[in-house]
Amino acid sequence: MTIALPFPNERIAVVSITRHGIALAGKVVAALPGARLFAPEKFRAEAEAAAPGAAATYTGKTGDQIPALFANFDGIVAIVSLGALVRLIAPHLKDKEQDPGVVVIDEAGRFAIPMLSGHLGGANALAGSLAQALGATPVLTTASDSRQTLGVDLLGRELGWIFEATHDEVVKASAAVVNDEPVALVQEAGSPDWWPRHANGRSGPVPANIKQFSRLEEVDLDSVAAVLWISHRPLPPELAPRLAGRLVTYRPPVEQGA
């Protein structure tokens, strides 16, 4: 199954700082046509051979390149030790709405590890795509992905849905989903194939703790921990107080109908 990325390949930077890593980086660029390889100047020949026409080299410290990489790319694939990369990027982190998706791959190409912005930043999807291309194992540590359940902040993304909720509301709903608490999913609009097209791929059934409804008014609000509401209409005023703090609303494109 092809995994859809939330950004084009042209917005992906591949960084490697060793000769063997650069050879693997060439395979990554080949798997993601349009991606760019960045390597130290001393490895210019190796970089150009690994990724003809898609390689750039830099002088100075790798850490000095992080601000430009964060500013110009949505996805970063680093063939660097995980610990070293944590130290390199730590001073430049902002929040998950702004930080790029960062994936670490070991030099042997055995593991693809999303280390930053797994959901909104697309690192989990990028790791899954790289794992397919390289025959690697994706190491997913976010609860919704490791348990193959619904990612509240990703629902309908490939379908163009936009979610409306505060950070705390997303956190509460996400916790309810992964902790097997009762969650109501109400679909009044949008494409019905949101589950098979869900980010990172889902092949099993919808989790048992997520009960589906066709109208918000059908839900017994006292019996659920959170409500995921897919609709074009405004929230009925009389329901707003009862749903405060536990509602995530999704707005599909109007052309997806009711």
What digits encode the pLDDT tens for the residues 171-218?
999 999 989 999 999 999 999 888 876 655 567 788 899 999 999 999
Cα separation, 82 vs 80, in Å, equals 6
Q: Where are the beta strands (DSSP E) in the chain?
A: 12-16, 36-40, 55-58, 75-79, 101-105, 111-116, 137-138, 162-164, 183-187, 210-213, 226-230, 247-251
Task: Give the pLDDT score at 144.
Answer: 60
Structure-token match 């589950």, residue found:
195
Most confident of 123-137, 189-203, 213-227: 213-227
- pLDDT range class, residue 254, cuts 50, 70, 90: confident
Asked if 43 and 19 sit in the same domain, the reply is yes
Greater confidence, 141 or 61? 61
Residue 117 has pLDDT above 80, yes or no: yes
- pLDDT range class, residue 258, cuts 50, 70, 90: low
With vertex at residue 53, the alpha carbon angle to CA 49 and CA 57, rounded to the nearest 5 degrees, is: 70
**Are the CB atoms for 134 and 109 separated by under 8 Å?**
yes
Asked if 172 and 200 sit in the same domain, the reply is yes
Please give the average per-residue pLDDT across 149-157, as a whole number: 85
The residue among 141, 166, 201 that closes a domain is 141
| 62 domain residue, yes or no | yes
CATH value at residue 49: 3.40.50.11220
Residue 141 has pLDDT above 90, yes or no: no
Asked if 127 and 167 sit in the same domain, the reply is no
Cα separation, 197 vs 216, in Å, equals 23
Cα separation, 168 vs 147, in Å, equals 22
Average pLDDT, the chain: 90
Asked if 172 and 57 sit in the same domain, the reply is no
The model's pTM:
0.70
| 24 domain residue, yes or no | yes
Cα separation, 117 vs 40, in Å, equals 26
The residue among 141, 172, 206 that closes a domain is 141
- pLDDT range class, residue 149, cuts 50, 70, 90: confident
Please give the average per-residue pLDDT across 107-133, as a whole number: 89
Cα separation, 73 vs 90, in Å, equals 17
Q: Which domain, by its residues, includes 230?
A: 157-256
HSE value, Cβ hemisphere, 13 Å, CA-based, for 184: 23
Total domain count, the chain: 2
Task: Give the pLDDT score at 198.
Answer: 67
Task: Give the pLDDT score at 3.
Answer: 66
Sheet holding 226-230, edge to edge: 162-164, 247-251, 226-230, 183-187, 210-213
Asked if 175 and 136 sit in the same domain, the reply is no
**Are the CB atoms for 218 and 211 separated by under 8 Å?**
no
Distance set, CA 16 to CA 104, 128, 161, 201 (Å): 10, 20, 35, 28
The residue among 91, 108, 141 that closes a domain is 141
First to last CA, the chain: 28
Asked if 129 and 198 sit in the same domain, the reply is no
